Chain A
Amino acid sequence: MTDTSHSPDGALARPFDGPATDAALRRFLDGLPGVDAVGLEQRAATIGTRSIKSSSKAAALDAVLSLIDLTTLEGADTRGRVRSLVSKAITPDPSDPSVPRVAAVCVYNDMVHHAVEALGAHHAGSGGDIAVAAVATAFPSGRASLAVKLQDTADAVAAGADEIDMVIDRGAFLSGRFGQVYDEIVAIKNACRRSDGGHAHLKVILETGELSTYDNVRKASWLAILAGGDFIKTSTGKVAPAATLPVTLLMLEVVRDWHLGTGQRIGVKPAGGIRTSKDAIKYLVAVAETAGEEWIAPTLFRFGASSLLDDVLMQKQKLTSGHYSGPDYVTVV
């Protein structure tokens, strides 16, 4: 994983000189090519017409499963619900042990230790294959002091979170304080350090629904990568619209361009609103045809979703049995 992530001190090739001031960042971000909304949406629509059938569909469904961050982010979350979620992450389909496991479970900060405990030997931190992701930095609004955000992050890391899903300060971004957004990401990245010298992977949530324009999404994507994000993530799931195919396509173009320029691979995570296998497969097509097939891997692409898993399981059952099952044939959390 180390080859796909930045070092926390930001020692990567920077496309501009000098300190990351508002003015320097604005000059750089404004110099990026614009995004034509009609053209972007047209390309996304064409990607959506790809017809993924038979063997390709089976492979795609397995890939989708292995890319899911199985998520519960409710005020009503309890230890019991988190344990139930973890149990489903470990055994997605009790009737078919060959079904791949999801990539991670994603929970609030204070639920991390419950998730780690429930995962036991399956936890990535204990040599298992399921990571624990924690939303932090005053998720979902991000409206708190930097000190609180740093403490929020440090708590989650200390409790065993392998991945931190932070939110950017959209207010600062929209009022042009790019330096502040940048500095905050750098600071949170530092707070992701673990005592053993490693660091939790940082996913930077742009909340594209609040950024409003595709040009803003592109700028915020570059800003997050420049500041050291390992992943760029569309949404918290608490704001509509959440992930859309055009927005994700645009972010995939950014990570492709970053890779072409620096050789580094950054991950992308659409989150919120992806509920069906059919939709998820469209995202896979976008990944493969834009960034490239090597991005179809848990280190570089994730779905933030809660109900998607059930639909994928039902689709898989349909592929093997030839008929549709129903929601009673997949487990509830």
Chain B
Amino acid sequence: MTFLDYAPAPESTAILDLKSEYGLFIDGEFVDGDGGSFATISPATEKHITTVQSASAADVDRAVAAARRAFEGPWSRLSGSDRGKYLFRIARLVQERARELAVAESLDNGKPIRESRDVDVPLVAAWFFYYAGWADKLEHAGVGSAPRPLGVAGQVIPWNFPLLMLAWKIAPALAAGNAVVLKPAETTPLTALLFAEILQQADFPPGVVNIVTGAGDTGSALVTHPGVDKVAFTGSTAVGRAIAKQVAGSSKRLTLELGGKAANIVFDDAPVDQAVEGIVNGIFFNQGHVCCAGSRLLVQESVHDEVIEKLKRRMATLRVGDPLDKNTDIGAINSAAQLERIRALSAIGEQEGAERWSPACDLPENGFWFAPTIFTGVDTSHRIARDEIFGPVLSVLTFRTPAEAISKANNTPYGLSAGIWSDKGSKILAVANELRAGVVWANTFNRFDPASPFGGYKESGYGREGGRHGLAAYLASTAGAAVVQTEQATKPKKGRTT
């Protein structure tokens, strides 16, 4: 055995105390739904974790009604500082139960425990702490001197950062005084259900947060429900487009955070070793299941060979395997369906003539796995340079001048994020100004902070999450709120009768 074959260092799952079955979390209680149930499995082993309910349209109706009661009842009458106290309580409970949440996340999602422990869960706590501080300062959110909450928010989140996306959605919504109904992704409901337990532990008023598990039908029932005032969705561009159509013509506010095909631009004056780390972090973080992943590497021709050689050396040290092992760098692909998509697009990359490379690595037999992969010699017309793969697959393109880098970086229907690597500050600023992307990282990649707004251009969606902008997405100026209030007063309260 060589030193680099680190002995297994698995994080214990003994800290988890899971129920064999979870109901829907409506009005502060776990209740049975009438849409049947389904299993959630570990993508690393394909083993059963627990059984969850599939919320029917009637169940969603109950959840929205409960949210409406909570909104019009105690929640909207609480002072901002009292709402803040509840959010601070969540943040602290997340920190207290951090290890348990990290283990659950890695088990259900397949991401390495190093990431769930060091990135996801700390950011979840940070998000609640940050927005807890905003709860009594809403008049400074930039929507007038007396902003009002929108009402009931219907939120649908993806499977790549299950608990973190929940925090991005729920924290600003509650800080602004809304009530929410949230649907976690079908393949990753576990941490949302543990979060429901945290709400009980925090003694949250019933109905302020409701969690309905299920697949696309449940999400569709939620976003089209007439009792929902605000829809927030993070996920694929195809589903986002469908939601925009469903919501069109209603009074619902909508924010969408969709796909991406981010350019990570490495100039010849870049700090090369750190750029290589940034490339690795940009595309292999969370198995590349990141909407803002740096999936297109644009590298200046003069340093192409050096960068690729160093990148390959670095990739050879990446450890693929058991997500619960503390030394794992790349975990399991989240689902069989996603693995199939990654395989199909990678096969197309080869057919189109790009050169495929992966380091030698043994993949486990069971579960869904894909070795970290780079394609060199990719042209802008290749599908792997245009389609979002959402996996650990990097497409490498080259450029000669800053103008060419900018034009290639912007040549995508998406516009969520981008990265620039250069030691020259003036170049970074000049290039960043020209990039049509919501987030531009300079000499780093995939860094998140609750104070920083995040969101996209073009087909990457609209609206911003995080920071003051993320808060404003859940607030109406006084005049706007009055309209919403009037509509609510006259609207038949469908949700209440069931």
Contacts and interface: CB of A to CB of B under 8 A. Distances in A.
Contacts of B5: 56
Given A39-B277, A51-B326, A55-B1, A289 B271 contact: no
Interface in A283-312: 284, 288-289, 293, 296
Contact of A43 (B1, B269, B270, B277): B277
Interface in A220-267: 253, 260
A52 B6 contact: yes
Contacts of B350: none
A43 B3 contact: no
A39 B7 contact: no
B273 A57 contact: no
Interface stretch (A30-38, A100-108, A121-129, A197-205): A30-38
A51 B327 contact: yes
Nearest to B11: A51
A40 B274 contact: yes
Contacts of A39: 271, 273-275, 277-278, 443-444
Given A34-B269, A36-B271, A54 B443 contact: no
Contact of B4 (A35, A38, A293): A293
Per DSSP, chain A at the interface is helix
B4 A289 contact: yes
B7 A57 contact: yes
Nearest to B5: A56
B273 A35 contact: yes
Contacts of A63: 3
Contacts of A49: 114, 118, 326
B317 interface: yes
Given A57-B7, A289-B4, A33 B271 contact: yes
A84 B327 CA distance: 40
B423 interface: yes
Interface string A200-215: 0000000000000000
Contact of A33 (B270, B317, B326): B270
A289 B273 CA distance: 13
Given A52-B6, A55-B7, A288-B3, A38 B444 contact: yes
A52 B6 CA distance: 6
B273 A253 contact: yes
A325 interface: no
A53 B443 CA distance: 34
Contacts of A253: 273
Given A35-B271, A36-B271, A49-B118, A56 B7 contact: yes
Interface residues of B, number: 27
Contact of B3 (A33, A51, A60): A60
Interface in B306-321: 309, 317
Contact of A50 (B1, B2, B6): B6
A53 B444 CA distance: 31
A156 B109 CA distance: 61
B347 interface: no
A174 interface: no
Nearest to B303: A33
A296 B443 CA distance: 31
A289 B5 CA distance: 11
B416 interface: no
B8 A293 contact: no
A49 B274 CA distance: 18
Given A34-B423, A57-B7, A293 B2 contact: yes
A34, A49, A288, A293 — which one has the most chain B CB atoms within 10 A of its CB? A34
A87 interface: no
Interface string B1-38: 11111111100000000000000000000000000000
Given A38-B444, A49-B118, A56 B6 contact: yes
Interface in B90-138: 114, 118
A39 B5 CA distance: 25
A59 interface: yes
A302 B443 CA distance: 32
A54 B326 CA distance: 14
Given A34-B423, A39-B443, A289-B317, A53 B274 contact: no
Interface string B263-285: 00000011111110110000000
A42 interface: yes
Nearest to A46: B114
Contacts of A288: 3-4
A191 B64 CA distance: 84
A38 B443 contact: yes
B5, B118, B270, B274 — which one has the most chain A CB atoms within 10 A of its CB? B274
Contacts of B8: 53
Contacts of A260: 309
A51 to B, nearest CB: 4
A288 B272 CA distance: 19
Contacts of A293: 2-4
Contacts of A296: 3
B319 to A, nearest CB: 9
A42 B277 contact: yes
A47 to B, nearest CB: 10
A92 B491 CA distance: 83
Interface in A50-76: 50-57, 59-60, 63
A42 B326 CA distance: 17
B61 to A, nearest CB: 46
A60 B3 CA distance: 7
B273 A51 contact: no
B4, B8, B271, B309 — which one has the most chain A CB atoms within 10 A of its CB? B271
Closest 10 CB pairs of A and B: A39-B274, A51-B9, A51-B326, A34-B423, A36-B274, A36-B271, A56-B7, A33-B272, A34-B271, A53-B9
24 contacts: A33-B423, A34-B269, A34-B271, A35-B274, A38-B443, A39-B271, A39-B443, A42-B277, A43-B274, A46-B114, A50-B326, A51-B6, A52-B6, A54-B7, A56-B3, A56-B6, A56-B7, A59-B1, A63-B3, A260-B309, A284-B3, A288-B3, A289-B4, A296-B3
Interface of B: 1-9, 114, 118, 269-275, 277-278, 309, 317, 326-327, 423, 443-444
Given A40-B274, A43-B273, A56-B6, 17 more contacts: A33-B269, A36-B271, A36-B443, A40-B273, A43-B274, A43-B277, A49-B114, A49-B326, A51-B6, A51-B326, A52-B6, A52-B9, A53-B7, A53-B8, A56-B5, A57-B7, A288-B3
